[in-house]
Structure 1
Amino acid sequence: MIQVTFLTNGGKVVTAPEDSNLLRVSLREQGGIPFKCGGGICGTCKCKIEQGIENTDGVKPKERKHLTEEQFKEGYRMACQTFLKGDVSVSWQPRPAASAPVRPASAEPSS
């Protein structure tokens, strides 16, 4: 078993079998990595492997559509495309909380 630490989710630590998909581990263990499609199309699951980048598989073509070479060098990956060979620590940009729609002030009726 390998260890995955979800830094942005309070440092939550979980275990998973080797060769597990990072996004699937996050979903199963409530790790918190944001996602929309899960298939490499939207780029929502962009995350940073803070420790253990050497324990991930190779970059996929779908990731190259959303991330730059500079981002890969900094440790960024798409969770849905990343399979784990060993322990990793991962962080991500939290999604902004949904806010209530702002309604325009209604005009005062004239007398």
Structure 2
Amino acid sequence: MSVERSADRITVTIIQHGVRHQLHVKRGDNLLMAMVRAKFPVEYMCTTGKCTTCRMLMEVPPESAAPASETERYRLGAPAVEQGYRLACQLYVEGPLTVCLPDQPN
């Protein structure tokens, strides 16, 4: 995982069907909205954490985003958060991280 030279741009690695893609986002961008703008197939409905449709497995180093929000802990449950699941709508990118897109049914 690498960070672009600009201090304002961060590389998010997205794994889709076993293939790694790189998405360059602005520091502080909402992960869900950045993925939607880049046309990644992300399911979502509410953007507030209530529906949990944007639940994804992620590797988020401590400096790359705030810890899971109270909404995430409540909606996903402690075991899922401990396994690395986060809600993309609740995550604001501050450093490099990796996201595993769930396989979409055909």
TM-score, normalised with respect to structure 1: 0.75
CA distance in structure 1 between the aligned counterparts of 2:38 and 2:82, rounded to whole angstroms: 28
| 1:1-111 correspondence runs (5 A) | 1-8=9-16, 10-50=19-59, 52-54=60-62, 55-97=64-106
Instruction: Please report how far the alpha carbon of residue 92 of structure 1 lies from its aligned counterpart in structure 2 after TM superposition.
Output: 3.2
Provide the identity percentage.
26
Instruction: Please report how far the alpha carbon of residue 48 of structure 1 lies from its aligned counterpart in structure 2 after TM superposition.
Output: 1.1
Q: Report the aligned-residue RMSD.
A: 1.7
Structure 2: state its 5+ residue gaps. Answer: 1-8
Number of matched pairs: 96
Post-superposition CA distance 1:89-108 (Å, at most 9, x none): 101322323xxxxxxxxxxx
Work out whether residues 13 and 22 of structure 2, in 8 Å CA contact, stay in contact via their aligned partners in 1. yes
CA distance in structure 1 between the aligned counterparts of 2:46 and 2:88, rounded to whole angstroms: 11
CA distance in structure 1 between the aligned counterparts of 2:29 and 2:85, rounded to whole angstroms: 18
Larger radius of gyration: 1
TM-score, normalised with respect to structure 2: 0.79
Structure 1: state its 5+ residue gaps. Answer: 98-111
CA distance in structure 2 between the aligned counterparts of 1:56 and 1:94, rounded to whole angstroms: 24
